[in-house]
């Protein structure tokens, strides 16, 4: 069972990696400039261990409770945890205990709580501002700041002692035009690099559209089902 799962994951990792490389090459980018973050939500820790053996080092979760329990089970393994889900501010201090990069910072309040948690646990955390790519009428909304909030949140992260403003993140609108959305995201990236020149991370692209995201300039793609398979529950 473990052997067949290992073979399945190995084949899918190889396939996704080569698709990232081809998409990068079509626009003259270096494939090594793009980080593959594997989203393991709903999948067991045994899959994380297999993926780690296959060389994956960046893992993402979108719910605090699930993340916290998985993190506890793989302590000591050299890997980076990314938090990509919506953050309730009462959970932010606890997320600060394990997250190396938080992709989904979308308010000043969450920024303050993450900074407090980072202080408490004597850590520093890379933060991305999640920018909304929904048009005004979109339902369901995928979260993120609007254009006016973007600078406030970027400024708050930049001014927080234990947080580093690393860039921006976007979730493409359901059923929408991904390349138009990614064009807006790159505009947001320019606003944020004007605050901090080193904040060059652009987290964009999921299983359905990571090649579009790479061609548009993503530095981090967040891939779940194309590697792990379809999740049983809709999440
Ligand atoms: C689940 C999730 C992903 C990965 O989605 P797939 O379609 O399974 O690749 C990426 N980003 C966020 C924010 C997610 O919640």
Could you list the mean pLDDT of each consecutive 10-residue stretch along the chain, which spans 235 residues?
Answer: 91 98 98 98 97 98 98 97 95 97 97 98 98 74 86 97 98 78 92 96 96 96 97 69
For residue 141, the model assigns a pLDDT of 66
DSSP assigned state of 29: -
d(CA 90, CA 9): 35
Distance 223 CA to ligand 1 centre (A): 6
Task: Decide: 107 and 145 in contact? Cβ < 8 Å.
Answer: yes
Is 225's C-beta closer than 6 angstroms to any atom of ligand 1? yes
DSSP state of 173: P
The answer to whether the CB of 168 is under 6 A from ligand 1 is no
**Distance from the CA of 229 to the center of ligand 1, in angstroms?**
12
CA of 60 to the centre of ligand 1 (A): 9
The ligand 1 atom at the shortest distance from the C-alpha of residue 223 is: 9
- Residue 36 near ligand 1, beta carbon < 6 Å: no
Which residue of 84, 129, 210 sits with most ligand 1 atoms within 8 Å of its CB, as the best mutation to test the pocket? 84
pTM across the whole model: 0.95
Domains of the chain: 2-227 (3.20.20.10)
Cα–Cα distance for residue pair 129/219, rounded to 1 Å: 14
What pLDDT sits at residue 234? Answer: 56
pLDDT at 182: 87
d(CA 89, CA 227): 31
Q: How far apart are CA 52 and CA 215, in angstroms?
A: 27
């Amino acid at each position: 069972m473990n052997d067949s799962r290992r073979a399945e994951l190995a084949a899918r990792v190889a396939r996704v990696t080569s698709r990232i490389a081809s998409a990068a090459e079509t626009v003259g980018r270096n494939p090594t400039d793009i980080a593959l973050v594997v989203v393991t939500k709903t999948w067991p820790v045994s899959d994380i261990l297999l993926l780690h053996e296959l060389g994956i080092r960046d893992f993402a979760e979108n719910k605090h409770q699930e993340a916290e329990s998985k993190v506890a089970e793989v302590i000591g393994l050299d890997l980076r945890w990314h938090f990509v889900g919506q953050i309730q501010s009462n959970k932010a201090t606890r997320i600060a205990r394990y997250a190396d990069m938080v992709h989904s910072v979308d308010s000043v309040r969450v920024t303050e709580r993450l900074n407090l948690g980072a202080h408490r646990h004597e850590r520093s955390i890379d933060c991305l501002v999640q920018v909304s790519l929904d048009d005004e009428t979109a339902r369901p909304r995928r979260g993120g700041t609007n254009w006016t909030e973007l600078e406030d949140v970027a400024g708050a992260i930049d001014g927080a002692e234990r947080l580093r403003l690393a860039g921006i993140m976007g979730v493409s609108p359901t059923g929408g035009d991904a390349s138009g959305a990614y064009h807006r995201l790159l505009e947001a990236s320019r606003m944020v690099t004007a605050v901090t020149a080193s904040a060059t991370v652009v987290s964009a692209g999921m299983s359905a559209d990571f090649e579009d995201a790479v061609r548009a300039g993503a530095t981090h793609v967040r891939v779940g089902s194309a590697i792990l398979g379809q999740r049983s529950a809709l999440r």
